Amino acid sequence: GNSVTQMEGPVTLSEEAFLTINCTYTATGYPSLFWYVQYPGEGLQLLLKATKADDKGSNKGFEATYRKETTSFHLEKGSVQVSDSAVYFCALSVNNNDMRFGAGTRLTVKP
């Protein structure tokens, strides 16, 4: 079946540190891949997406590249800020149907 496995948290970093949150997937067919973010007290918001192999999604300094050969979609940011503290979810969708989410990774950035 279709599923996502993402790096367990929590992750605690100092401001301006480099961030990587790993995400790997299993899918039948050709999935679209997403990263969603959930800030404290808010709903899920789309952070970035990629719809085919080698696509790079980017937004707000975050990037992720769709790697078919390693079935991965790792999230990276070169310099995190306190305001990036949130829970990050990796997700996939096949044929525009329901989304399958990872368990989420809680990021805390300390000043």
Partner 1 sequence: DTGVSQDPRHKITKRGQNVTFRCDPISEHNRLYWYRQTLGQGPEFLTYFQNEAQLEKSRLLSDRFSAERPKGSFSTLEIQRTEQGDSAMYLCATKGQARNEQFFGPGTRLTVL
User: Residue numbers of the site for partner 1 (CB under 8 A)?
Assistant: 4, 32, 34, 36, 42-46, 49, 51, 89, 91, 93, 96-104
Q: Where are the beta strands (DSSP E) in the chain?
A: 3-6, 11-14, 19-21, 23-26, 31-38, 44-50, 56-59, 62-65, 75-77, 86-94, 99-101, 105-110
Q: Nearer Cβ to partner 1, position 9 or 17?
A: 9
Q: Nearer Cβ to partner 1, position 41 or 111?
A: 41
Q: Nearer Cβ to partner 1, position 15 or 98?
A: 98
Instruction: Compute the least distance from the CB of residue 66 to partner 1, in Å.
Output: 13
